[in-house]
């Protein structure tokens, strides 16, 4: 029982002693709040890639194949 309580105390001390993880890898050049105009422009630029991408080509090929009358 003493080993368990010592282990629990050690885990609590280790867990509560680290409180500076919020400042890790903060980029000084990054925007704190991005502009919505820029986000909308980026999403509008990616629409043609989604519409003409490989997945849509495979989907249109799948839809163009008709049902087979018999087994092949």
What does pTM read for this prediction?
Answer: 0.28
* pLDDT for the residue numbered 45: 83
The SS3 call for residue 30 is: coil
Per residue in 20-57, pLDDT (tens digit) is: 666 666 777 777 777 777 778 888 888 877 777 777 77
**Which DSSP state fits 57?**
H
């Amino acid at each position: 029982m003493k080993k368990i309580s010592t282990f629990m105390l050690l885990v609590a001390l280790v867990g509560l002693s680290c409180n500076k993880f919020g400042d890790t890898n903060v980029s000084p050049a990054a925007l704190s709040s991005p502009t919505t105009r820029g986000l909308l422009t980026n999403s509008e630029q990616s629409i043609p890639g989604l519409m003409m991408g490989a997945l849509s080509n495979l989907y249109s090929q799948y839809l163009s194949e008709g049902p087979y009358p018999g087994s092949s």
